[in-house]
Structures are given as C-alpha cells and as structure tokens.
Structure 1
Amino acid sequence: MTLLRRIFAPAPAIPRLPDSEIPSKYQHYRWQILESTFIGYAVYYLVRNNLPVVGKEMSAELHYSYEMLGNILAATALSYGLGKFVMGILSDRSNPRVFMAFGLALTAIINVLFGASSDYSLQIVLWAVNGFVQGMGWPPCGRSLGHWFSIKERGTYFAIWNIAHNIGGGLVGMVAAQSALYFGWRSAFYIPAAIAAVGAVYLFLRLRDTPQSVGLPPIEDFKPEDYKDAKVDEDAERERTTYELLFKDVLSNPVLWLFASANFFVYIVRYGLLDWGPTYLKAAKGASLSDGGWSTLIYEFAGIISTLLMGWLSDRLGGRRGMVSLLCLLPISGSLAGIYMTPPGYLWLDLLFFSIIGFFIYPPVMLLGVAGLDFTSKKAVGTAAGFIGFFGYAGRTFEGKILGMLADGPGWNAVLLFLGGSLLGAILLLLFTWNLKPKQ
C-alpha cells in the first residue's frame, strides 16, 4: 500500500523558476496539458464505447438477446459511474501523469481479454471491471485543467478539451466497425486495445501535474503583466484529506446535488442513442453494419462546434452553465419526435436527426461537469467530477437495463418515448439552475 501511494502521489512542488521565464513557460505547459489530456481521453473512448458498435454482430454469434446485451451495458455503466466517483477521490490525491496512463494501460488489457471471451458471465464481469478502470480517465483531466485554467476561462478551455469526447466517440464508431467488417467482431476490441497501449506510454511521457510541480505559480497567481505582486492563498493550495474532499467539499454542497441529478437524465438521453443507436437503425430501420457505424460518427462529431460555442457563451454569461445547458436541451425534443415518426427507408433523415441531437446534447454533458468544478475547491475537482459523473452513469445503467427490456418487449417506439420522458426530467431540474453562477 505504501508503495502504491508513492507511485501515485502528487508531484512535489519545486523551486519557482526565474521571473523572466514564467510567462512563456506557463503558456507552453498550459497547451501541453490541454493537448495531452485531450488525446489521452479521446483514446480512452476507443476502449470503452466499442461494444455498442458491434453489439448486434457479437449477439448473433454468441446467441445473446437484446436484454442480455443491455445487461452487459448496464453493468459497465454502473461500474463506470462508481469508478468515476472512487477514482475521482483518488485522483485528487494522485499525480495525473501516472494515474491516467496506468488506467489506460489496464483498460487495454481488459479489452483483449473481453474480445477473446465467449462466456456471457465472464464478459459481464470483464466489461464491468473495464468500466471501473475507465473511471481513471475523466478525474485526472478535471484535476489538471482545474489547476492550469482559471474559473473565468474554464468554459472555453473545457469546451476545447471536451471535443475529445466527440473525436474519440466518433472514431470508435469507424475503428470498431471497420475492424469488425474486415477481421470479425473480436478485432473491434483488439485493435483499439493496441492503440490504447501506445496512448498510455504517450500520457506518461507528456502529461504533468500542478504548475507548482514544474516551478510555476498556481493559476490564480499567474498574471503575465503583474504576477510578482500576487499573493498565494495557502489554504486553497493545501492538499485535502479524503474526508474533506468527500464530505466537506462535495456531499454537503446542495448545488452539486442539483447538477448531478440533472446529469442523471442527460446521460440517459446521451447514451440511449449512443449505446442503442447503431442497433436501433439496423433492427428498426434496415441499416447496414457500416451505416450503424456512421450514426455514431455523425452523432459524436456534430457536437464539436456547439460545445466550443456554448462553452464560450457560458463564460460570457458569467458562468451560468445551467442556463446554457437548459437551452441546449430544447431542440433535442423535436429531433426525438422526428426519429419516432420517420419510416424505414429514410436513413438520411434519421442521420440528420442524430446529428441535431449530437449537436445539442454534448454542451450540457460538458457544462454540467464544469459547473461541478466551479462550485467546489480546485483541490476537489476530481471528487466533484466523479460525483456528478456517478449520477450520469447511474442514468446510463438505468438506460442500459430498461432500453434492452423495452426493445425486446414493447419495441423501439417505447424506447424513444422513454428517452423523451428522461429529457423532460432534465429540463425541469435545470430550471432551478437558471441564474446560478460561480464566484470569480
């Protein structure tokens, strides 16, 4: 246990660099942190969201029902939510360089084992463990960005970083689908695992811990024009105990509970279409394996521009992340209705509605996480992100189980109606966040 603590311990502060070097070094490291967390988290997606792309093909060969497939998705969603919470607490007391790289290496190994298995019970266990280990991805990113970017600019820079979700989530649709098309469905786990192994090495070589660990002042004190006059808030820089992180900074914060509850419903909508979109289009609309992969790519990539725009807008509105999130959810209802009413044979129209939903669903996904960081200490950003993420993936767990049962029973129209009801729940909760903004 002592050895593990030493391996994952936060990097110690080193003597501050000469004043003349601080501005240039700060900007260099800020972009290095943004780049490494961006690429690293995109690669995490390749070994997490590959199962839905080949779910139909795997189920056909192994004789799984939609409910059985839904059970695997539900197991990993629950374990990921729990992992995100637990790993969030641990990440606030760890060096993200080691923490994030180690997690990516572990999930690569698990993907290889899952792809080689044909046993249903073993696959549930493996994919649940994969979900838990995947919890080592988001929290260290939140910790890193929280230390290197200030509150007044978080919406913009988190929006840039958040595109990693779309890049990774979109590429996995094509990587997994093309791998399965040419080499069989098992290769949809082997090939992404190889990419993840390379990504783990990259993260260890490129990522860094706090500004103080490389001889720079904390972000609150970095002002290129007059940073020498700034005063360090020593309490704000003090490492928190686990008790303080969990009970004082997070669980006693009612604002975090509100954003977390809204996230529960947002994730049902997000993953309802991401997990089941390719299968739905193939089963209900007659799409091919390749067409199903395109739905994932379009859904993910559509959110890139909107995430940047809405992140910037939330900064301009003083950090009103809840307000912007609510406005983004409104157009999604019309697109869900459009998918519901579109008959088979109009795949282009279904893909258009998928792109509209992807365009508007990802800003709330990003902004609700940033809101959690805004309303807690920067030393607890991983814990806050894990807490909000736990609610999100509790929603995904619920979605994975319920939608599989609905697809096997009443049918796909019932699935779409359930997603519509979840969307309404998110809208009602976010009404209470309309004017909430953090203290700068």
Structure 2
Amino acid sequence: MIGFLKPAPHVKRLPPQQVGRRYAHLRWQILEATFIGYSFFYLVRNNLSPVAKEVSEAVGYSRGEIGDFLAITAISYGVGKFLMGSLSDRSNPRYFMPLGLLLTAACNFAFGSITDYSLHLVLWGLNGLFQGMGWPPCGRSLGHWYSVKERGSIFAVWNIAHNVGGGLAGVIAAESLRAFGWQFAFYVPGVLAVLCALYLLWLLRDTPQSEGLPPIEEHRPSATSGAATYDAGHESELSTRDLFLKYILPNKWLWIFALANFFVYIARYSMLDWGPTYLKEVKGADISEGGYSTLVLEFAGIPSTLLMGWLSDRMQGRRGLISLLCMIPIFAAFVGIMYSPADMLWLDMTLLGVIGFFVYPPVMLLGVAGIDLTSKKAAGTAAGFIGLFGYLGRTVQGKVLGVVSEQHDWHAAFQLILLATVTGMILLALTVRVKPKE
C-alpha cells in the first residue's frame, strides 16, 4: 500500500468526558463528507447519458458506439468497485476517496478535449475504474462510525447522495452543453470534482480509534448485538485474499443479493442511460427535458429511500423483503411507459418518478445487506462485491438495449427490461427471511 494511503494508526484514548461530544461531532462530519463526496462522483460519471444524443451528433457516433461507452464505464466501474473495495479496507478514506475524485476529473477533462473513438473508449473505461474509489471508502467509514442497528436509517439518509448526484449530473451536463458546447458537459463537472476533492481532504477522517475514540461497539453497546464479544482482534487489517476467502466466497446470501443487484441495476440504469434518448426520439423531448428526466427519476427516490431504510430497521433488518415489494410497482411503471401516448410527456415523467421512487430503496438496501452479512473489516469488499454485480447489470443493458433499440425498436428493448425486473423479483423472494449477521 502506498504510504500516504495506509490506515491512520490508533492514538491515545481521549479522556472519558470528551468522548461523547467528540464522537457525536465526528459521526456527523463523516456522514456529511461521504454524502457530499459521493454525490460529486456522480457528476463525473453520469454526465454522458443525458447528452449522448447531442455528443453522438457532434462527434459522429452511432447509438451502438454510445452503447460501447456506457458498457465500458459500467464494467470498469463494477470491477473498480470490487478491486478498490479491497484496497479501501486497507486504506485511509481521507486520502483514498479524494484521490479517486481527482483521477476521474482528469479523465473528464481529457474526454472533452479529443474526438477520437478509441481514446474516448479508453478514457471512459479508466473513468469507470477510478469511480470505484467512491463507494467502498464510504462503506468502510460508515461501518466504523455507525452500529449495526443504526445502519438501515443512516444508510437511508446517506443513500440520498445517489439521487442528489445523479439528478444534478443530468441537469449540469445538459445545461453546460446547451450554453457552451458538448465539451463543457465534461469540463464543468470536472472542475466541480476537483473542488470537492479538496473539501474531502479537509473533513474526512479514518476510524474512531485514529481520533482517540473507542470503537463503535464499545461506544454504543446498547445499539449493537456484538458488543459483548468485541475484542481488539476485530480491528486487525486483513489481506485481500483473506477478505475474499473468509468473508465473501463462502457467504451464499451475499451471492444471492449480488445476483439480485445485477437485475435491479438493469431496471435502474435502463432509464438513466437510455431514458433521455428514448424521450427525445419517441416522445419529442428537447435537450433540457431529457436532462430533467434524470432529475425526476433521481429525486423521486429521496423520500422512499428514507422511508424504506427506516422500515427495514423496524422489520429486523429484512432488506430483501422490502426490496422485493418495491420491484412490483417498478414493473407496472415500465409497462405504462411502453404504452403511453407519444404526446403525453408529463405521463412519462410521472412514471419515471414512480420508477425512481421504488428503485432506489433496493439499490440502498442490497448494499446495506452486504455489510450486514459480513465483518466491518470486510465492509468495503462486501460493498464492492455487490456493486460489481450491479454494474455488470448496467454493462449488459448499456450495450444490449442500445443495439436492440437500434436494430429492432424500443418496444423490444422494454420487453427485455421487464424480463430483468421479474428475474430480480424471483431472486429477492429467496431472501425475504434473511436478517443481519449477529
């Protein structure tokens, strides 16, 4: 591990009278920094899809080639999430996360400066790989600063970062393109990402012990069932091999949640990646309406994520059950978009809102389930593993839906989305009784 990325060492414990106030302050600070930081990762990841039609016209790309960009960033992001998840478990998030943001900003600056297909493909693949440095350190940080019985509610609040970042990404990219040209759909988010990296360096911290505080199991024994058996060995850093062989490979429920996440992400990203293009080609939307369609989809998930996170805690951590129930209205909304009239854009926007409202709770809960089912020292690896399968799903839909809609029609593409949604429901049905690991 590069020296400056190594986990911060434990320091001398603060006096007991200072612990409560300092812990409360830093818990909020960690939540705030990871929330804002992850939101900004979206600005430099989801900025191509909302302007894909305009970029393809300006540079001369086919829909299949745009699909290549969506696919390469999805698979590289999924691989990056898994690989970087293992690294993040052995790194200091204060430096690991901002480094990733700076690297992905650099890819955006370069992407906007050239028009070569091969170089664009390489850059967007690298962008996806560096994007994998966003979520795992957040999972590591929150796993160290919040107890098991708080996670549903805390991750529900944190998960709104997906919606804020994803919604603003479309608007910022579309309006930057409309005002200055397609290159600025990448330049403007890149500048914002650099500023956010500096903010993260200022606010992020590593573990409670590195700040002179007790581990969360000791600080909040009433909120975690594992307090009675906690010992210092729980804090030992493990190798990548040990993390995977001990906590990931033999965990059957982790595999089932990961497979379910594959299909949930097809439902999620089908409209994020192709929704703006579909609305422009079939429903007559303009560039701004296409950009705002992602805002509608993303922001609709904010209240439901809070509600379902709280509800999953009240239901003894049954994340799979809540996720299954959410998939039913998602299926119905896709059917509605398939058959809605071309001159009723407001109806399509409403149905996109329904999809956003119900798809983001499973996105959040499946990630939390992975952390529930393993050690907190493997939280980043588990999060990255489930995220890998999610972005494999995004990879498949990014390429397949582009080709199917171009060679056949959008109706055929929607039939594939419905098939993926049903498959996800079947897998989630297997997990309805699964609860967090004690």
TM-score (norm 1): 0.97
Are 1:307 and 2:294 counterparts?
A: no
Residue 407 of structure 1: CA displacement? 1.3
Q: Distance in 2 between matches of 1:158 and 1:142?
A: 9
Tell whether the 8 Å contact from 2:148 to 2:223 is kept in structure 1 after alignment. no
Find the counterpart in structure 2 of residue 184 from structure 1: 181
Residue 439 of structure 1: CA displacement? 3.4
Runs ≥4 in structure 1, deviation > 6 angstroms? Answer: 224-227
CA deviations over 1:134-178 (Å, ceiling 9, x no partner): 000000000000000111110000010000000000011111111
Q: Which amino acid aligns with 2:384?
A: G
Find the counterpart in structure 1 of residue 157 from structure 2: 160
Tell whether the 8 Å contact from 1:144 to 1:209 is kept in structure 2 after alignment. yes
CA deviations over 1:6-31 (Å, ceiling 9, x no partner): 11100000011000011111111000
Tell whether the 8 Å contact from 1:52 to 1:275 is kept in structure 2 after alignment. yes
The range that moved more, 211-220 or 236-245, is 236-245
Q: Distance in 2 between matches of 1:333 and 1:223?
A: 41
Q: 70, 75, 79: which one pairs with 2:76?
A: 79
Find the counterpart in structure 2 of residue 247 from structure 1: 245
Are 1:220 and 2:179 counterparts?
A: no
Tell whether the 8 Å contact from 2:263 to 2:420 is kept in structure 1 after alignment. yes
The count of aligned residue pairs is 436
Find the counterpart in structure 1 of residue 92 from structure 2: 95
Q: Distance in 1 between matches of 2:151 and 2:223?
A: 21
Tell whether the 8 Å contact from 1:221 to 1:231 is kept in structure 2 after alignment. no
Is the partner of 1:439 in helix, strand or coil?
coil
Are 1:144 and 2:152 counterparts?
A: no
The range that moved more, 236-245 or 25-34, is 236-245
Q: What does 1:282-321 align with in structure 2 at a 5 Å threshold?
A: 282-321=280-319
Q: Distance in 2 between matches of 1:343 and 1:327?
A: 28
Q: 203, 207, 210: which one pairs with 1:210?
A: 207
Find the counterpart in structure 1 of residue 436 from structure 2: 438
Tell whether the 8 Å contact from 2:150 to 2:223 is kept in structure 1 after alignment. no
CA deviations over 1:37-76 (Å, ceiling 9, x no partner): 0000000000000000110001011111111100111011
Q: What does 1:32-51 align with in structure 2 at a 5 Å threshold?
A: 32-51=29-48
Q: Distance in 1 between matches of 2:23 and 2:195?
A: 27
Q: Distance in 2 between matches of 1:22 and 1:85?
A: 34
Residue 5 of structure 1: CA displacement? 2.3
Find the counterpart in structure 2 of residue 324 from structure 1: 322
Q: What does 1:388-407 align with in structure 2 at a 5 Å threshold?
A: 388-407=386-405
Q: Distance in 2 between matches of 1:126 and 1:225?
A: 48
Q: 50, 73, 92: which one pairs with 1:53?
A: 50
Tell whether the 8 Å contact from 1:78 to 1:397 is kept in structure 2 after alignment. yes
Q: Distance in 1 between matches of 2:195 and 2:314?
A: 38
Are 1:201 and 2:198 counterparts?
A: yes
Q: Distance in 1 between matches of 2:333 and 2:428?
A: 20
RMSD of aligned residue pairs (Cα, Å): 1.4
Q: Which amino acid aligns with 1:25?
A: R
Residue 225 of structure 1: CA displacement? 8.9
Q: Which runs of 5+ in 1 are unaligned?
A: none
Q: Distance in 2 between matches of 1:289 and 1:243?
A: 47
Tell whether the 8 Å contact from 2:140 to 2:376 is kept in structure 1 after alignment. yes
Q: 258, 261, 274: which one pairs with 1:260?
A: 258
Tell whether the 8 Å contact from 2:337 to 2:351 is kept in structure 1 after alignment. yes
Is the partner of 1:413 in helix, strand or coil?
helix
Find the counterpart in structure 1 of residue 67 from structure 2: 70
Find the counterpart in structure 1 of residue 125 from structure 2: 128
Find the counterpart in structure 2 of residue 336 from structure 1: 334
Tell whether the 8 Å contact from 2:174 to 2:288 is kept in structure 1 after alignment. yes
Q: Which amino acid aligns with 1:270?
A: R
The range that moved more, 217-226 or 203-212, is 217-226
341 and 20 in structure 1: CA distance in 2 versus 1, 3 angstrom threshold: same
Q: Which amino acid aligns with 2:83?
A: V
Q: Distance in 2 between matches of 1:347 and 1:34?
A: 37
Q: Distance in 2 between matches of 1:230 and 1:383?
A: 25
Is the partner of 1:262 in helix, strand or coil?
helix
Residue 233 of structure 1: CA displacement? 1.4
Is the partner of 1:54 in helix, strand or coil?
helix
Q: Distance in 1 between matches of 2:67 and 2:330?
A: 24
Tell whether the 8 Å contact from 1:325 to 1:364 is kept in structure 2 after alignment. yes
Q: 19, 24, 27: which one pairs with 1:27?
A: 24
TM-score (norm 2): 0.98
Find the counterpart in structure 1 of residue 356 from structure 2: 358
CA deviations over 1:362-388 (Å, ceiling 9, x no partner): 000000000000000000000001110
Residue 252 of structure 1: CA displacement? 1.6
Residue 226 of structure 1: CA displacement? 12
Residue 117 of structure 1: CA displacement? 1.3
Q: Distance in 2 between matches of 1:264 and 1:59?
A: 28
Q: Which amino acid aligns with 1:326?
A: L
Residue 185 of structure 1: CA displacement? 1.2
Tell whether the 8 Å contact from 1:23 to 1:224 is kept in structure 2 after alignment. no
Tell whether the 8 Å contact from 1:42 to 1:169 is kept in structure 2 after alignment. yes
Q: Distance in 1 between matches of 2:223 and 2:84?
A: 37
Is the partner of 1:435 in helix, strand or coil?
coil
Residue 99 of structure 1: CA displacement? 0.2
